[in-house]
């Protein structure tokens, strides 16, 4: 992050040259974050309970027999809050995606990585599920470190195997839930209840998802945020000195020193570093590795309370606000993002609201103007594009109420499959005696289940009148 963008107040910026979780030889430094408690941790626990409940319960919710949410990328079928979307709705998804990106950019520019600390599935599962289980089985950071240093013995073997077995069961649950979002709960239950040989692809998919989740939460951990996550990599361009981040008030805290020395408020107890799940020292300033988990805020507040100093030495604040003791203000960049976001959300909402269940477009087929038919009749060929945005296949009937005209569908009855676009051709036939002008005004109606749902006027071309 550029010095002119985020002035940390710290002179030595050499910590930015390397990851705190990798040694100079390139070896992984395992992070043992100390158990946390405090008001932010409690609030995050409550938020996590809701998020996890939503994640695990949602695949079981059905509306009229259909999933509440489904992302079936294999068949190109998507359901959001009970509304079905198919490939024909790609433009809505594309706009929704652009809106989401602008939202993320704006939100990050204003509130930093608040998403990472509070709602990102990686952080929620890592800190609120897997880490808590680890504390329960292996104890706090010091005990975990000691256990890892011990040579293998009965106690260590039991603790490690027990922990990893539970980790794998949870990863398996997450893998199946992930699968349920992709193919629906019924198919997922079918896959896991039958022999793998009957569902080899599904079985491999569940095994791969479970394996990936197990690896990420048992081994890879914070590296997913610090090395892989593209959102984390973007922080350098999304954040500026006005962004709200988890920040150390260096103006108040420095020079740090032992309690009772005449120094700043930081007593250099190192607790903020000890609790950090990404192994960094927030006192160095805003860093890409910081997932804004707020653990260091809770830790430092507990210390400030003990030493009778005001809380908030580490807090949600902007670096500029800390340096200049300024309140948050809207910059021109934020105003521009906001206007863009409101415009995109308005267009997106309008598209969603105006989206109808069935769309039809009927045009006379290009090419030959008319065809001579037996029995002194003339026909014109028409092309229909029918879009079915509902969950059910829809048999439709094309009719005309223009006197003397009749419809001949080409091939079988027209059925528009659920969530798809269907193209059909049909003939309109008229007796030459009924064709009084070269161009006849034709009214075409489309019925589904006996109900008229589309009507359009088009033209029927007959032979030139002398």
Q: Applying CB under 6 A, which of residues 272, 405, 414, 419 lies at the interface with ligand SF4?
A: 272
Order of strands, sheet of 451-461, starting from the edge strand that comes earlier in the sequence? 414-416, 394-400, 439-448, 451-461
> What would you report as the CA-atom Rg of the chain, rounded to the nearest whole angstrom?
32
By the rule CB under 6 A, 128 interacts with ligand SF4 = no
CB of 324 to ligand SF4, least distance (A): 20
Of the residues 44, 221, 283, 320, which one makes contact with ligand SF4 according to CB under 6 A: 283
> Closest approach of Cβ 106 to ligand SF4, in Å?
21
Q: What is the chain's length?
A: 466
Task: Work out how close the CB of 100 gets to ligand SF4 at its nearest, in angstroms, rounded to a whole number.
Answer: 24
Which one of the spans 134-142, 260-268, 382-390, 397-405 is the region binding ligand SF4 (CB under 6 A)? 260-268
Residue from 114, 126, 280, 435 in contact with ligand SF4 (CB under 6 A): 280
Q: How far apart are CA 189 and CA 180, in angstroms?
A: 8
Stretch that binds ligand SF4, among 233-241, 286-294, 319-327, 445-453 (CB under 6 A): 286-294
Q: Is 319 in the site for ligand SF4 (CB under 6 A)?
A: no
Q: Choose between 6 and 246: whose C-beta lies nearer to ligand SF4.
A: 246
Cα separations in angstroms, 40 against 37, 247, 292, 296, 314? 8, 15, 11, 10, 12
268 binds ligand SF4 (CB under 6 A): yes
The answer to whether residue 216 forms part of the interface with ligand SF4 (CB under 6 A) is no
- Pick the piece of the chain touching ligand SF4 (CB under 6 A) from 4-12, 176-184, 295-303, 346-354: 295-303
Instruction: Give Cα separations from 290 to 123, 217, 276, 299, 354 (angstroms).
Output: 12, 18, 9, 15, 42
- Contact criterion met (CB below 8 Å) for 393 and 415: yes
Q: With binding defined as CB under 6 A, does residue 322 bind ligand SF4?
A: no
In the bound state with ligand SF4, the residue whose beta carbon lies nearer, of 296 and 444, is 296
By beta-carbon proximity to ligand SF4, the closer residue of 270 and 365 is 270
Q: How far is the CB of 72 from ligand SF4 (least distance, A)?
A: 35
303 counts as binding ligand SF4 under rule CB under 6 A? yes
How far apart are the C-alpha atoms of 294 and 38, rounded to whole Å? 10
Site membership for ligand SF4, residue 288 (CB under 6 A): no
- Residue 70 CB neighbour total at 10 angstroms: 21
Angle between helix 200-215 and 185-193 (nearest 10): 100
Rounded distance between C-alpha atoms, residue 459 and residue 223, angstroms: 65
Contact between 244 and ligand SF4 by CB under 6 A: the answer reads no
Cα–Cα distance measured from residue 288 to residue 310, given in angstroms and rounded to the nearest whole number = 28
What residues pair up with 66 in beta bridges, in sequence order?
A: 63
Q: Which is nearer to ligand SF4, 271 or 369 (CB)?
A: 271
Residues 226, 245: Cα–Cα separation, whole Å: 17
- Footprint of ligand SF4 (CB under 6 A): 246, 248, 253, 256, 266-272, 275-278, 280, 282-283, 290-296, 299-300, 303, 313-314
């Amino acid at each position: 992050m550029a010095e002119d963008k985020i002035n940390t107040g710290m002179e030595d910026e050499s910590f930015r040259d390397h990851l705190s979780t990798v040694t100079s030889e390139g070896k992984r430094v395992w992070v043992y974050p100390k158990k946390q408690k405090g008001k932010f941790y409690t609030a995050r626990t409550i938020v996590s309970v809701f998020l996890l409940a939503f994640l695990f319960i949602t695949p079981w919710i059905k509306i009229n027999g259909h999933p509440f949410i489904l992302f079936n990328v294999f068949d190109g079928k998507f359901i959001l809050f009970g509304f079905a979307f198919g490939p024909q709705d790609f433009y809505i998804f594309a706009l929704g995606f652009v809106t989401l990106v602008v939202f993320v950019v704006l939100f990050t520019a204003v509130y930093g990585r608040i998403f990472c600390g509070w709602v990102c599935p990686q952080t929620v599962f890592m800190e609120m599920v897997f880490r808590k289980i680890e504390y329960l089985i292996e104890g706090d950071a010091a005990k975990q470190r000691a256990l890892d240093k011990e040579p293998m013995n009965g106690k260590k073997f039991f603790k490690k195997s027990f922990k990893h077995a539970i980790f794998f069961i949870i990863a398996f649950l997450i893998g199946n839930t992930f699968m349920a979002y992709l193919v629906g709960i019924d198919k997922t239950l079918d896959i896991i209840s039958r022999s793998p040989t009957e569902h080899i692809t599904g079985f491999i998919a569940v095994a791969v998802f479970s394996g990936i989740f197990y690896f990420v939460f048992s081994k890879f951990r914070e590296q997913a945020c610090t090395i892989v996550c593209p959102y984390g990599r973007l922080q350098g361009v999304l954040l500026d000195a006005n962004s709200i981040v988890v920040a150390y008030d260096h103006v108040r805290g420095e020079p740090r020193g032992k309690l009772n020395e005449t120094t700043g408020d930081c007593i250099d107890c190192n607790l903020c570093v000890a609790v950090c799940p990404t192994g960094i020292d927030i006192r160095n300033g805003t860093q890409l590795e910081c997932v804004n988990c707020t653990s260091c805020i809770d830790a430092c507040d507990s210390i400030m309370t003990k030493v009778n100093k005001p809380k908030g030495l580490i807090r949600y604040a902007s670096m500029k606000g800390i340096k200049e003791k300024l309140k948050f203000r809207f910059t021109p960049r934020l105003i521009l993002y906001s206007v863009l976001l409101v415009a995109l959300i308005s267009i997106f909402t309008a598209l969603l609201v105006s989206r109808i269940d069935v769309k039809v477009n009927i045009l006379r087929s290009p090419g030959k103007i008319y065809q001579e038919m037996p029995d002194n009749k003339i026909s014109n060929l028409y092309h229909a594009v029918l879009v079915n945005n509902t969950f059910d296949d829809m048999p439709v009937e094309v009719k005309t109420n223009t006197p003397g005209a009749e419809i001949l569908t080409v091939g079988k009855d027209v059925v528009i499959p659920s969530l798809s676009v269907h193209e059909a051709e049909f003939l309109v036939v008229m007796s030459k005696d009924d064709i009084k002008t070269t161009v006849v005004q034709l009214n075409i109606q489309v019925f589904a289940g006996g109900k008229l749902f589309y009507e359009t006027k088009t033209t029927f071309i007959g032979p030139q009148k002398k």
